[in-house]
Amino acid sequence: MTSQTIPEARVRSAPDLGVLLTGAGALLLVGSALLPWAGYAGFPGKMTLSGYPGGARLYVLLLALPALALLRPLPGRAAALRAAANVELAVVALTVYFVAYAGGGFVNVGGGVYPAMIGAILYLVGSRRLPTSEAVAEGVALPDASWRFPVESLVVAGTAGLALWLFVIGLGMPSSSIASGSDLTLGPLSINDVANSGQFLAYVITIAGVALVAGRLGLLKSLTIMTGRHPKLFVAAGFIAAAAFPFTQNGSGESLSIAARIGVFAAAAVGLNIVVGLAGLLDLGYIAFFGVGAYFGALVSGSVTSVTGVHLPFALTIVLGGLVSGIFGLLLGAPTLRLRGDYLAIVTLGFGEIFRITVNNLDGSAGPSLTNGPNGVSNIPDLALGSFNFGANHTLFGIDLSFQSNYYWLELLLLAFVMTSFLRLSESRIGRAWVAIREDELAAAATGINTTRLKLLAFALGATLAGAAGTVNAHVVKVAAPDSFTFIESATLLAAIILGGMGTVPGALLGATVLYLLPEKLRFLHDLRLLVFGIALVLIMRFRPEGLVASKRRAREFHDHETDPAAEAVA
């Protein structure tokens, strides 16, 4: 009775220490974002300006915003703020490090750095002290009946657009002067190179952090439910946004060219996902099939450096390239797939190396002249479809488009085809048989599945898709050379699907993007790159073993103990 008469203000009058600390930290961080962080010019984001949250300061600001939740106890608030504080500290520390490093020492940092560091620590400590006995976040209530469709479609399409927009920003961020390929030795780097790398890292970490916070607040759950209800819309919106990308580039082709390469890499990753994610076959030499396609495409491209002198129409090249690669897959798989899984890994690993060494040696001196040895088949001419020349810049709807957009769209078509194949296969009789084999091969055989044949099918199909992607890649990068097909490439593709989430398409896309971009943007790390890369993978596997975007099946596989209440009720 009496408790009801106590004025609300009195109840709230003793704010929790955690709330105070978190709030103070957030305020300091917001303030710091408006102060200069660098005492010297040249760091990206106009870091010497005050009153302007440019560069990484924007991320600092963004990650302090969840503190607004302190004003109202939302479910999942404490967990969300803890995540925000963790990521905030990482971003602040990283940016301070890069500002100091690029400026030649800590003495050259700006005044905003100090409140930022204190703020980040308060934020972290405070968020740990927030009361946690709050309800689990259930996300926003989904709109009712008549409103549901328009609202949901908007959210779903918006999400697809937002994802692409973020991707495009990341792509467009200046990075260190990139030569080509994956060589690890680099000359001295300029201040700008270092600063740009730092800026990019902070960007990626911030996106991950925002996603994490959204997840803790239950927003991702709502989003997943909505996209699950309109999968076609989601995909369509994604593709329309992706197809529109070249129109935003003002005739420049740099980002488009990187995007096209990522796309081909992603297509290969999705293909590998059939072999590994669905059928559960460990293929450690997958890049060799990509290489077979690339060399095939290069040899029949009409390039002056090709010994064949043949010039096939590209539509035929892509099909034949896939077939040739698929035949290699059959030849390799037929004898090995009868054996246990581990043998396949060893044989494919060997095949990958044999392929690389062979094309390295087919230069006319050690063997027949076919591949020009280490130089590869280069100067691959631009594609032409009828009178449409892929190598020329075009103008569409009054907007200038660099020639790279043609290749970008070609890659997008390839990706669309590979993704459609994957999705449709995975939910078909064939896909179910693959998963059954992965689950229990003996039981699958007893259920009437010809396990050898289906494994061979998965293997050859993966090889075919890789081969098709390879022919496209040869025309995008204009060369097919042995050093693009090393074991590390196979391992990276494999890492992409494990990181992104086995057996899912968005996972493969995300994994491929991250794994392609990170090494490019982290060149300042030199040889340490692979180490950092490895540590990142270990961390992800530790904290999210099912990958970033888990299929429903795998999520449940790895998080058994966190029982699903629905499953429990039936059990």
Partner 1 sequence: MSVLEARAVTKRFGGLTAVKDVDLVVNEGEILGLIGPNGAGKTTFFNCLTGMETPTAGDVTYKGAPLPKRPDLITKAGVARTFQNIRLFNNMTALENVIVGRHTRTKAGVFAAVGRGPRYHREERESEQTARDLLTFVGLGRVGDELAKSLPYGDQRRLEIARALATDPGLLLLDEPTAGMNPNETAAAIDLVKGVQARGIAVVLIEHDMRFVFGLCDRVAVLVQGQKLLEGSPSEVQSDDRVIAAYLGKPTEAETAGDKQ
> Taking the complex as a whole, how short is the minimal distance between the CB of residue 435 and partner 1, in angstroms?
6
Q: Candidates 219-227, 362-370, 429-437, 468-476 — which segment interacts with partner 1 by CB under 8 A?
A: 429-437
Binding mask 497-536 for partner 1 (x = CB under 8 A): ----------------------------------------
Q: Candidates 3-11, 40-48, 532-540, 549-557 — which segment interacts with partner 1 by CB under 8 A?
A: 549-557
Pairing verdict, β 394-396 and 384-385: unpaired
Residue of 194, 425, 474, 508 interacting with partner 1 (CB under 8 A) = 425
Q: Does 433 bind partner 1 (CB under 8 A)?
A: yes
- Rank residues 432 and 544 by Cβ distance to partner 1 and give the closer one: 432
Hey, which bits of 335-468 come out as E strands? 384-385, 388-389, 394-396, 399-401
- Rank residues 253 and 431 by Cβ distance to partner 1 and give the closer one: 431
> Taking the complex as a whole, how short is the minimal distance between the CB of residue 567 and partner 1, in angstroms?
5
Sequence-separated (6 or more) residues with CB below 8 Å from residue 364 = 373
Q: For residue 80, what are its two tokens?
A: 């969300």
CA 178/CA 405 separation, integer angstroms: 20
Binding mask 550-569 for partner 1 (x = CB under 8 A): ---xx-xx------x--x--
Q: Does 420 bind partner 1 (CB under 8 A)?
A: yes
- Rank residues 303 and 464 by Cβ distance to partner 1 and give the closer one: 464
- Rank residues 57 and 554 by Cβ distance to partner 1 and give the closer one: 554
Q: Does 16 bind partner 1 (CB under 8 A)?
A: no
> Taking the complex as a whole, how short is the minimal distance between the CB of residue 417 and partner 1, in angstroms?
9
Residue of 20, 166, 430, 488 interacting with partner 1 (CB under 8 A) = 430
Q: Does 392 bind partner 1 (CB under 8 A)?
A: no
Q: Does 132 bind partner 1 (CB under 8 A)?
A: no
| Contact positions with partner 1 (CB under 8 A) in 308-327 | none
Task: Report CA-CA distances (Å) from 335 to 401, 438, 453.
Answer: 49, 19, 12
> Taking the complex as a whole, how short is the minimal distance between the CB of residue 335 and partner 1, in angstroms?
18
CA 44/CA 224 separation, integer angstroms: 35
Residue of 76, 293, 326, 431 interacting with partner 1 (CB under 8 A) = 431
- Rank residues 177 and 450 by Cβ distance to partner 1 and give the closer one: 450
Q: Is-contact 160 169, C-beta < 8 A?
A: no
- Rank residues 63 and 497 by Cβ distance to partner 1 and give the closer one: 497
Q: What is the DSSP letter of 391?
A: T
Residue of 10, 429, 542, 561 interacting with partner 1 (CB under 8 A) = 429
Sequence-separated (6 or more) residues with CB below 8 Å from residue 135 = 75, 76
| Longest CA–CA separation in the chain, Å | 98
Q: Does 340 bind partner 1 (CB under 8 A)?
A: no
> Taking the complex as a whole, how short is the minimal distance between the CB of residue 544 and partner 1, in angstroms?
18
CA 17/CA 22 separation, integer angstroms: 8
Q: Candidates 332-340, 356-364, 425-433, 474-482 — which segment interacts with partner 1 by CB under 8 A?
A: 425-433
| Residues in a beta bridge with 399 | 396
DSSP conformation letters of 313-335: -HHHHHHHHHHHHHHHHHHHHHH
Q: Does 267 bind partner 1 (CB under 8 A)?
A: no
Task: Report CA-CA distances (Å) from 329 to 293, 334, 352.
Answer: 12, 8, 12
- Rank residues 460 and 509 by Cβ distance to partner 1 and give the closer one: 460
Q: Candidates 93-101, 205-213, 404-412, 548-556 — which segment interacts with partner 1 by CB under 8 A?
A: 548-556
Which residue, 214, 210, 354, 335, is CA-closest to 291?
A: 354
Angle between helices 77-102 and 191-216 (to 10 degrees): 180
- Rank residues 55 and 280 by Cβ distance to partner 1 and give the closer one: 280
Three-state DSSP state, 385? strand
Residue of 428, 528, 534, 538 interacting with partner 1 (CB under 8 A) = 428
Within 10 Å of residue 3's Cβ, how many Cβ atoms? Answer: 6
Q: What is the DSSP letter of 66?
A: G
Site size toward partner 1 (CB under 8 A) is 34
Q: Does 571 bind partner 1 (CB under 8 A)?
A: yes
Q: What is the DSSP letter of 274?
A: I
Through-space distance between the first and last CA atoms of the chain, rounded to whole angstroms: 43
Binding mask 437-476 for partner 1 (x = CB under 8 A): --xx-xxxxxxxxxx-----x---x---------------
- Rank residues 128 and 432 by Cβ distance to partner 1 and give the closer one: 432
CA atoms within 13 A on the CB side of 39: 13
Q: Amino acid identity, residue 384? A: A
- Rank residues 352 and 462 by Cβ distance to partner 1 and give the closer one: 462
- Helix spans in 429-486 (H): 429-439, 441-446, 451-477
> Taking the complex as a whole, how short is the minimal distance between the CB of residue 563 and partner 1, in angstroms?
9
CA 276/CA 500 separation, integer angstroms: 13
Residue 361 CB burial class (10 angstroms; 0-12, 13-18, ≥19): middle
> Taking the complex as a whole, how short is the minimal distance between the CB of residue 568 and partner 1, in angstroms?
8
- Rank residues 16 and 439 by Cβ distance to partner 1 and give the closer one: 439
Residue 231 CB burial class (10 angstroms; 0-12, 13-18, ≥19): exposed
Q: How far is CA 428 from the centre of its chain?
A: 26
- Rank residues 50 and 450 by Cβ distance to partner 1 and give the closer one: 450
Which residue, 312, 83, 22, 359, is CA-closest to 216?
A: 83
- Rank residues 145 and 442 by Cβ distance to partner 1 and give the closer one: 442
Pairing verdict, β 388-389 and 384-385: antiparallel
CA 123/CA 18 separation, integer angstroms: 9
- Rank residues 144 and 562 by Cβ distance to partner 1 and give the closer one: 562
Which residue, 78, 110, 85, is CA-closest to 96?
A: 110
Q: Does 570 bind partner 1 (CB under 8 A)?
A: yes
- Rank residues 9 and 570 by Cβ distance to partner 1 and give the closer one: 570
Residues that bind partner 1 (CB under 8 A): 420-421, 424-425, 428-433, 435-436, 439-440, 442-451, 457, 461, 553-554, 556-557, 564, 567, 570-571
